[in-house]
């Protein structure tokens, strides 16, 4: 199966698998240059909940009494990433609650794709590593008045999103919104797939699809952000 992350967006509105792995409603948090264990700690995992030497499919939720939520994690090149299921995104919830400890540090390239499939809107967060944090709803451009909006890395991601149809077109770019939607459906199986595709192409992130769907990646436990 493909290791592209586009499929995670293409299936985001499917119900969670209810099986050993993840497929629908998955959210991604990733940082370049940060060890996976440090990313997990930043998201609220205690040291006793990291490196439990088990795969996601082997985790028994009844084995813990505390309000923990399981996640998968791994590395891809210089990137560490965390995947969460069922519409949960610990990083987003900490950010929304004003917890500044989860914000990317200077020099850290960061991306978070929060499907938020049950409620909407879906959110894209990006830090290019040489400026502040940008965020936008799916369908919208990342470009903005903040200094980070002028960074070369941000402009490249924004350009890739536009070429993949992940941004509402400018007037005259397509003859109609329907023509734009048809282009997105033909090239990327929908808007969410186009956003995930753009983020994957920009960062170089690859995630083994078979391991995600079968629960073959390592499991860690994060503090449930909703508890």
- Give per-residue burial for 142-167: e unless 16+ CB within 10 Å, then b: bbbeeebbebebbeebbbbbbebbbb
Comparing 27-41, 91-105, 168-182, the range with the smallest average pLDDT is 168-182
The answer to whether 196 and 5 are in contact (CB under 8 A) is yes
Supply the pLDDT for residue 187: 63
Supply the pLDDT for residue 46: 81
Region 36-50 average pLDDT: 90
Token reading at 70: 């399981």
Kindly report, residue by residue over 78-108, the tens digit of the pLDDT: 999 999 997 889 999 999 999 999 999 999 9
pTM score, two decimals? 0.89
The CA distance from 194 to 179, in Å, is: 15
At residue 165, does pLDDT exceed 90?
no
Kindly report, residue by residue over 180-218, the tens digit of the pLDDT: 677 667 666 688 899 999 999 999 999 999 999 999 999
- What is the residue extent of each domain of the chain? 6-139+205-223
Long-range contacts of 64-68 (CB under 8 A, 24+ apart): 64/221, 67/223, 67/224, 67/227, 68/221, 68/222, 68/223, 68/224
């Amino acid at each position: 199966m493909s290791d592209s992350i586009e499929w995670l967006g293409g299936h985001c509105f499917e119900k969670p698998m209810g099986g050993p792995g993840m497929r629908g409603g998955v959210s991604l948090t990733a940082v370049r240059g940060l060890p996976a264990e440090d990313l997990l700690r930043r998201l609220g995992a205690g040291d006793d909940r990291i490196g439990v030497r088990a795969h996601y499919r082997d985790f028994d939720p009844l084995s813990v009494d505390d309000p923990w939520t399981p996640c998968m994690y791994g590395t891809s090149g210089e990137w560490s990433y965390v995947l969460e299921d069922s519409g949960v995104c610990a990083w987003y919830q900490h950010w929304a609650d004003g917890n500044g400890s989860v914000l990317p540090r200077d020099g850290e390239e960061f991306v978070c794709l929060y499907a938020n499939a049950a409620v909407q809107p879906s959110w894209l967060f990006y830090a290019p590593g040489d400026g502040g944090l940008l965020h936008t709803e799916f369908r919208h451009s990342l470009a903005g008045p903040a200094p980070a909006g002028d960074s070369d890395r941000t402009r490249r991601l924004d350009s890739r999103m536009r070429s993949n149809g992940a941004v509402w077109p400018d007037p005259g770019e397509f003859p109609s919104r329907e023509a734009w939607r048809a282009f997105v459906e033909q090239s990327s199986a929908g808007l969410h797939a186009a956003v995930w595709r753009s983020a994957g192409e920009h960062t170089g992130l690859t995630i083994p699809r078979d391991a995600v769907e079968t629960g073959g990646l390592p499991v860690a436990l994060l503090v449930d952000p909703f508890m």
